[in-house]
Amino acid sequence: MERRDFLKVSGMSALAMSVGSWTSAPAGKKLPGNWAWGGINDKLTDDELLKIFARYKSHGIDALLPEGSNELYARISKLGMKAGLEIHAWRWTMNRGQYIKDHPEWYAVNRNGESCAGPHPPYVDYYRWLCPSHEEVKDVIVKDYSELCDIPGLAGVHLDYVRYCDIYLPKELQPKYHLVQDHEMPEYDYCYCDTCRKLFKEQSGIDPMDMKDPASNTAWRDFRLNQLVKLVHAIVEEVHRKGKLVTAAVFPTPAMSRTMVRQDWSKFNLDAYLPMLYQNFYGEPESWIGQCVKESLTELPKGTPVYAGLFRGAIQSADIASIYSMVKENGGKGLSFFTADSLSDDDLKVLKKALR
């Protein structure tokens, strides 16, 4: 299985400050009915890819979110256009290890003073979280997505890991790490880097390192939420300037996301959201998927497209139809499957039938 947001891999896996301006979505762009993450690899020939694309498209999946290099996206975007299937570039946003050697100072620091660039990153080795407060971090990330937008035929970019490190893991994952997370533990609480501390002190007169109970300080919480929102707005502005769509894989609801991973996605201003509604990670029944969609829509601007991200391994093939109906009844736009590769012919038949 491809690596992706940590949760998927493990086991199965009014803002206080102004947040800048953004441009609106590219005019006239019609959004896909349903999506799927993954679905291809760079070893496939053009003919093989066209066949794969036709299989998805003919069963109601209009957009694919593969991971890969800019070169791969250049090749498959053209083929996607031929097959009528949108290709969106799925790329991690804040969890990126590639700058450690040259810029260790760009990485987030926890309340114990340990950097994600150091020898002991939180939870897993590939957890290398950047700090959103660094202008250079914002610039390098915006540039990366901007370059993707220059690829002819690519429909959009898809942000993943667009958050801080998990303060709280989903309930069902905590035992796998031998954790009982009933409070904000300092080793998972970010970011206390010099830049964040300085910026917050200028604003509030308080050094967050001096707080006895930082979890109870709403100004400190909002500051960190806002630093990420500002970075996302910079990406959105650039992607829209280039006429492409920008979406993200986010945590289940805005409220859960703020608490668990400091991700206030209700303020991201993206073209669509694909929350990862993996009920099995939370010990919830399938009906929870519809509840999350409904709750999220109450926080978003009217008409915002929300797609329910489904963990294919945790649902029955026959249930795809009832989940689709439930999502639509709760105001959702459609589904997104993790992963495309895991969809059987039966799954696709059920989906196609449900769309009628």
* Residues near Zn ion, by CB under 5 A: 131, 133, 191, 193, 196
Q: Least distance in Å: CB of 236 to Zn ion?
A: 21
CA pair distance 47, 78, nearest whole angstrom: 12
Of 131 and 256, the one with the shorter C-beta distance to Zn ion is 131
Q: Least distance in Å: CB of 113 to Zn ion?
A: 12
Quote the strand ranges of the chain, DSSP E: 35-37, 63-65, 86-92, 156-160, 245-250, 272-275, 307-311, 334-338
Task: Express the helix, strand and coil content of the chain in percent, nearest 5 each.
Answer: 45, 15, 45
Of 161 and 281, the one with the shorter C-beta distance to Zn ion is 161
The identity of residue 355, as a single letter, is: L
Q: Least distance in Å: CB of 196 to Zn ion?
A: 3
Could you tell me if residue 18 is left (phi over 0), alpha (psi between -120 and 50 degrees) or otherwise beta?
beta
Q: Least distance in Å: CB of 108 to Zn ion?
A: 6
Of 193 and 308, the one with the shorter C-beta distance to Zn ion is 193
Of 208 and 334, the one with the shorter C-beta distance to Zn ion is 208
Of 89 and 228, the one with the shorter C-beta distance to Zn ion is 228
Q: How far is CA 73 from CA 67, 141, 273, 274, in A?
A: 9, 18, 21, 21
CA pair distance 241, 26, nearest whole angstrom: 8
Q: Least distance in Å: CB of 274 to Zn ion?
A: 27
Of 196 and 250, the one with the shorter C-beta distance to Zn ion is 196
Torsion sign (Cα): 97, 151, 233, 216? negative
